[in-house]
Structure 1
Amino acid sequence: MKNETDFELTDDILNPEGLSINKNNIIIFHTHTCESYTQSENYSFEQTGSYRTTDLNYSVARVGDELENYLKGFGFNVNHNKTYHDYPAYTGSYSRSLSTVKGVLNDFNSDIIIDLHRDAIGSKETYAPLVKIGDDYCAQLMFVMGTNGGGLTHPNWDSNLKFAVKIQQEANEKYPGLFKPMILRNSRYNQNLGKAACIIEVGATGNTLDQALNSMKYLAEIFNEVRGEM
């Protein structure tokens, strides 16, 4: 784990045992809905910015569709919201997605809230974190977890972290390399809205949509495995 906060990560904070959440309902949304990937033979599309598109069939929202379908196949109840939060304006995306998720929660009770992103590595546009699982080339995943270190109220950050640790532990055992080390930051990232809320970065700009989609069946499988252990 890359700890960018001043918090000391004790065994108690990192121990996911005893975590009590609604484990059957999942919200998926996208603060940066227009994030997209390197184009490929299978997925060619019109960009509306650098590695960005408003076409939901080719953005990170399409990756969310894939995750939703696999999760539903395991019997999860999934609410996938594909509202644009970063278009036409990028600034204020997190404020807008906060409002969206609050609205979703009015009608759909869920502790597991996934903000699904595509990572951006500064100027390294060709960076493509990959892992091969069986015959599948999969974009690597990464948790970005928030805290109250920035001064905003966030009573759930330790619960969120326990959940992410549980998911990553399971993934590391079953599919080593699927996840990169998670990052813990001072920002809240709207993760105060759930007891198992997280950002999951799916690949980076150098990955193709094919690779991002491949990862989702393994991620859904891990979620199902963890549900059975809770």
Structure 2
Amino acid sequence: MHKHYFGTFIKSIFLMQLFLLVLITGVSAEISSPYLGKMPAFNVQNILLPFKKIELDKKQAASLFREVNVVFAGEKTSFPMTRHYFKEKMPEELMISSIQALAYGRSEEDLRENEGENEVQLPEVEPEPLEESRDIDYSSFFKDCKVVFYCTHSAESYIPDSGKARCDGQRGLVNEVARSISKSLSKRGLPAEFEDRIHDFPEYNKSYTNSRETVQKILQSNNRMLALFDIHRDSIPGLEKAETVEIDGKKSARILIIVGTDERKSHPEWRKNLEFAQEIYRQGEKKYPGLIKGIRTKAGTYNQEFFPRALLLEFGGDLNSFVEARYAGMLFSDILIEVLKEDL
């Protein structure tokens, strides 16, 4: 085991040196670009020409890079050996990869391809009429059961109400969305709790480590847990208008379901979480078509490996209002009750 770690460490050092070499070469090329045309022997293409002879297929490359840094195990299998690529495109891709590793939860559309995400295609479902009343009491049906909510990225909020996307060190409005869903379910007879511990402060990079402790504590104290949800909000760079769907005459934020896979960490039963997500999606399309915009699988586990009905839910984006996100939460509680009734 120690030999494996030492070997990985040595390879990491080598790759870091290689990265610095390429970076320095790129910077040098930028500074001296007016002279490169006059000195073809020192052209970047000539310097890096030997690398073109290295042939690795997608699986081999991903396997090699994943051993030392999962960030670089993307989709590309070849690289254009041009000055433009090394001066501009490659630094941009390296920066994007680093941002992905440091800041999950933003779910930016332009980062998802390199992060190993996949849309789960589901069949269209015939919609059902809206529920006329939410006064039905399910207490006898869900006796001694429980659903729990928490927020790994506690600072996430909604710009129209908070004035910013994150309230670092504080509880953003995404917590109130989780709390409102919990209250809605409890009022209708499905016991629910919101664990309001702050997980992303003072060290944002330890958010999931901290929420893992919360998840384990929740599971230890609840024998009849029905479902566990990590509540977030999305954030898509370049988006100028919030995504909404009109349901029963009101604007609602849309919901994205995230399912962790076993690409980077052992998670042999992740498909049980996926099946649960698919049940929610199908029921959502019956009751409120368009509310749930899809299911996305991602290479991390996001603490879903500890429970077969654990999901990460993104209620709208940072441009949505709190009212829109809270309304989505209320509609989601309707969907969840129907799904869990069928499962029981």
Between stretches 31-40 and 103-112, larger displacement belongs to 103-112
Name the CA distance, whole Å, in 2 between partners of 1:173 and 1:225: 11
Alignment partner of 2:190 out of 61, 71, 76: 76
CA RMSD of aligned residues (A): 2.6
Name the CA distance, whole Å, in 1 between partners of 2:144 and 2:308: 10
Partner of 1:116: 231
Assess if the C-alpha contact under 8 Å between 2:157 and 2:233 holds in 1.
yes
Alignment partner of 1:143 out of 254, 257, 269: 257
CA shift for structure 1 position 71? 1.0
Assess if the C-alpha contact under 8 Å between 2:259 and 2:297 holds in 1.
yes
**Other structure's SS at 2:159 match:** coil
> Does 2:153 align with 1:28?
no
> Does 2:283 align with 1:162?
no
Letter in 2 for 1:75: G
- Aligned identity (percent) is 28
Name the CA distance, whole Å, in 2 between partners of 1:153 and 1:190: 11
**Other structure's SS at 1:145 match:** strand
Assess if the C-alpha contact under 8 Å between 2:117 and 2:296 holds in 1.
no
In structure 2, relative to structure 1, the CA distance for the partners of 1:225 and 1:31 (3 Å cut) is same
In structure 2, relative to structure 1, the CA distance for the partners of 1:10 and 1:124 (3 Å cut) is closer
TM-score using structure 1 length: 0.82
Assess if the C-alpha contact under 8 Å between 1:156 and 1:194 holds in 2.
no
Deviations 1:121-163 (A, max 9, x none): 1x2363411011012211000101011111x121331111111
CA shift for structure 1 position 107? 1.1
Assess if the C-alpha contact under 8 Å between 1:36 and 1:59 holds in 2.
yes
Assess if the C-alpha contact under 8 Å between 2:259 and 2:298 holds in 1.
yes
1:1-230 counterparts in 2 under 5 A? 24-40=145-161, 45=162, 50-53=164-167, 54-56=169-171, 58-109=172-223, 110-121=225-236, 123-124=237-238, 126-150=240-264, 152-230=265-343
For structure 1, the 5+ residue unaligned runs are: 12-21
For structure 2, the 5+ residue unaligned runs are: 1-111, 123-142
In structure 2, relative to structure 1, the CA distance for the partners of 1:228 and 1:136 (3 Å cut) is same
CA shift for structure 1 position 214? 0.8
Assess if the C-alpha contact under 8 Å between 2:170 and 2:198 holds in 1.
no
Work out the number of aligned pairs and report it. Answer: 208
Name the CA distance, whole Å, in 2 between partners of 1:62 and 1:221: 18
CA shift for structure 1 position 216? 1.2
TM-score using structure 2 length: 0.56
Name the CA distance, whole Å, in 2 between partners of 1:106 and 1:225: 26
Partner of 2:127: none
In structure 2, relative to structure 1, the CA distance for the partners of 1:23 and 1:218 (3 Å cut) is farther
Partner of 1:15: none
Name the CA distance, whole Å, in 2 between partners of 1:111 and 1:157: 16
Letter in 2 for 1:83: R
Letter in 2 for 1:126: E
In structure 2, relative to structure 1, the CA distance for the partners of 1:144 and 1:10 (3 Å cut) is closer
**Other structure's SS at 1:66 match:** helix
Letter in 2 for 1:25: K
**Other structure's SS at 1:206 match:** coil
Name the CA distance, whole Å, in 2 between partners of 1:163 and 1:5: 21
In structure 2, relative to structure 1, the CA distance for the partners of 1:181 and 1:107 (3 Å cut) is same
Name the CA distance, whole Å, in 2 between partners of 1:39 and 1:6: 29
In structure 2, relative to structure 1, the CA distance for the partners of 1:204 and 1:179 (3 Å cut) is same
Assess if the C-alpha contact under 8 Å between 1:23 and 1:112 holds in 2.
no
Letter in 1 for 2:259: M
Deviations 1:176-217 (A, max 9, x none): 110111101121111011110100000001101111011111
Instruction: Specify which structure has the higher proportion of strand.
Output: 1
Between stretches 93-102 and 104-113, larger displacement belongs to 104-113
In structure 2, relative to structure 1, the CA distance for the partners of 1:186 and 1:55 (3 Å cut) is closer
Letter in 1 for 2:252: C
**Other structure's SS at 1:104 match:** helix
